[in-house]
A and B are shown apart, each in its own frame.
Chain A
Amino acid sequence: GEDVEQSLFLSVREGDSSVINCTYTDSSSTYLYWYKQEPGAGLQLLTYIFSNMDMKQDQRLTVLLNKKDKHLSLRIADTQTGDSAIYFCAETGARFGAGTRLTVKP
C-alpha cells in the first residue's frame, strides 16, 4: 500500500468544519505538508508543520500532529465551496498520499 495513507473522499456542508486525516510512515520526516490541488491546476502548498510541534494554526487551517502514532490532520474551519479540491499530505522525503477529495455542498 501507500507509504502515506489518506481517506479518499470527504463531503461536508458549507460552514461546517472539515477534518482530513493522514497517516505516514517516515518517523524521520522533519516537516509534514498539506497541499491543495484544484481541478486542472497545480499543487498549492497550504501549510506545513515542523515535526517537533503538535499543532499549528493558520487562519482557518489547523494542523495537528501526533508523532507517536504518525498521524497528521488538517482541519478547515467554516468550510466554503471554494475549498472543494483534492488535499494531499506529504512527508519531507517527498512521498505523497493519494489525496482526499473534499466536496463542499451549499
Chain B
Amino acid sequence: EAGVAQSPRYKIIEKRQSVAFWCNPISGHATLYWYQQILGQGPKLLIQFQNNGVVDDSQLPKDRFSAERLKGVDSTLKIQPAKLEDSAVYLCASRTGSEQFFGPGTRLTVL
C-alpha cells in the first residue's frame, strides 16, 4: 500500500513570496490533516478535512494560509505571503479508523 505522498520535499523562498504544498493521502482515507512542525517542537495542527469538508481550522492563520481538498482526495496548502516564522516542516497525514499515517513532509525555508 502506497503511503502519504507530499511534494515538494524542500522549498526555499524569500519572505513575502507565495508557496504551495501538495499532498496525496492513502487511497480511501477520508480524513486528511496538515500540520506545521517548527524545529524543536511537536507538530501543530493547521487544518483537518473530512472528505472535502473542513472539520477544524482553528489554528490556521487564515490571513495568509489557505487549504483546499476539492475532490476529497488530494489537498493543497498555500501560504501567501510567507513570513520568516513560517520556516518549518509541513506535514500531511491521512487517517482511517484509529490509525493516522504521515507523509515525509515539506521543509520550507523562508529567507
Contact = CB atoms under 8 A, between A and B. Distances in A.
Interface of A: 2, 4, 30-31, 33, 35, 41-45, 48, 50, 88, 90, 93-99
A14 to B, nearest CB: 26
A6 to B, nearest CB: 8
A79 B65 CA distance: 41
Interface string B66-106: 00000000000000000000000001010000111111110
B98 A88 contact: no
B42 A45 contact: no
Given A42-B103, A42-B104, A94-B48, A50 B98 contact: yes
Nearest to A89: B42
B45 A94 contact: yes
Given A42-B91, A43-B91, A94-B33, A33 B100 contact: yes
A44 B100 CA distance: 9
B42 A96 contact: yes
A43 B102 contact: yes
Contacts of B104: 41-42
Interface in B3-36: 33, 35
Interface in B35-68: 35, 40-45, 48, 56
A31 B41 contact: no
A97 B42 contact: yes
B6 to A, nearest CB: 9
A75 B45 CA distance: 26
15 contacts: A41-B104, A42-B102, A43-B43, A45-B100, A45-B101, A48-B98, A48-B99, A88-B42, A93-B45, A93-B56, A94-B45, A94-B100, A95-B45, A96-B42, A99-B41
